[in-house]
Amino acid sequence: MHNGVALVVEKEGLPASLSGTIILAFSLAALAARFPAGSCTDRYGSKPVIIAGCIAAVAGTTFGAFGGSILFLFPSRILMGIGFSLIVTAATAAVADVIPANRMGEGIGYQGLAFAAAFALGPMIAIKAAGYGRLFLFLLFGLMGILCIVLTMLVRFKAQKAEAKAADKPAHKISLRDFIEPKVFPAALITLLLMLAMSFYFSFMSLYAQVNDISGINLFFIAAAVMMVSIRMSLGRAFDRKPARLFLIPGLLCGMAGFILPAVFAATWALVVSGVMYGIFCGICQPLMTLVCIRNSDGGRNGAAIATYYIGCDIGVASGSFLWGWAIDSLGFFAAFMMAAFVLFTDIILSFFLIKSRG
């Protein structure tokens, strides 16, 4: 929905930096919600956390739809950020709880297909909906949130019984470790930089195409979706058998290429090829880093481990949305693209020190 918000703000004649600040508010809210999300998921189960997240998201869309001023987008996106954080943390933990350890990469890859579809189709839906105005945009996503509540109520979560027993244990003194998993910090740092760069793709690519009068933004997202699905369906088993760096570094290189191409060539073909590179980058790096996170966590703490991993995601998206909005306004798209490519280059260097040879 970030792309839709960027277009709504642009339609109001306001700078891209305001879009970045609104997305920053979303990401900071998501970051704050990660801490209780992981702990509550481990203690009470995934279903109640997902439903709570859906309710927060629907409340946010209602606020955004009926708020009069553009400033109402801030509280709207804060509520949606909280909802997003709860839903994604609990849903990912639910999947990790039922996948056999020797097939975790394959399972995370298939689970990631849903995220791939959301990241690829979501911006296209948001761009189209934004053309009908802010009211239509937010009501549409509100209906999606209500549908999510209904579907969650119908799903049986196999790990819930074990989690319910944990909730019956005697109360203990709350510590920071209830909310985070320190062993996941290296993967979270790699993910922070990865998402710092990736936030450019899903927040400002539609604005880039519009400002430069380049057709084919839908082709960008379609190409990205096709590549994400293809990668996640084909490489899941390989993730279980091969070192993580063997896939991570080529994925990051593709991400770099996806930024450099539209920076140098302001043309439809470059935009489409950039979408292919983005699809490979996202298709490899997101599920792979989720897998590394789960491998490095203690048993029975999938909620805390995944929350820690997503804290890196949230900080990356929050700082990226603000940074890229500022860079576009102050330096232009070329400089912003090259800065994003350099962030991924830095991630490649860090991966040699922070990611074990077997992931």
| Listed residue (172, 216, 225) closest to 39, CA to CA | 172
Separation between Cα atoms, residue 286 and residue 292, nearest integer Å? 10
Residue 168 lies in a domain: no
Q: Write the single-letter amino acid at 293.
A: C
The 10s digit of each residue's pLDDT in 181-226 is 778 888 888 989 998 998 888 778 878 888 888 887 788 888 888 8
* Per-residue pLDDT, 151: 87
Q: Which residue has the tokens 């999606």?
A: 144
The 10s digit of each residue's pLDDT in 79-121 is 988 998 898 888 887 777 777 767 776 677 667 677 666 766 7
Residue 16 lies in a domain: yes
Residue 130 lies in a domain: yes
| DSSP per-residue codes, 271-330 | HHHHHHHHHHHHHHHHHHHHHHHHHTSPTT-HHHHHHHHHHHHHHHHHHHHHHHHHHHHH
Residue 87 lies in a domain: yes
0.85 exceeded by pTM: no
Residue 166 lies in a domain: no
Residue 302 lies in a domain: yes
Show the DSSP H helices in 45-103 as ranges: 46-66, 73-98
Residues 6 or more apart whose Cβ sits within 8 Å of residue 134: 8, 64, 65
CATH of the domain at 137: 1.20.1250.20
- Counting the structural domains of the chain, the total is 1
Question: 270: domain range?
Answer: 2-153+179-354
CA distances from 308 to 32, 66, 139, 302, 304 (A): 11, 34, 31, 10, 6
Residue 335 lies in a domain: yes
Separation between Cα atoms, residue 208 and residue 232, nearest integer Å? 28
Residue 170 lies in a domain: no
Separation between Cα atoms, residue 167 and residue 160, nearest integer Å? 10
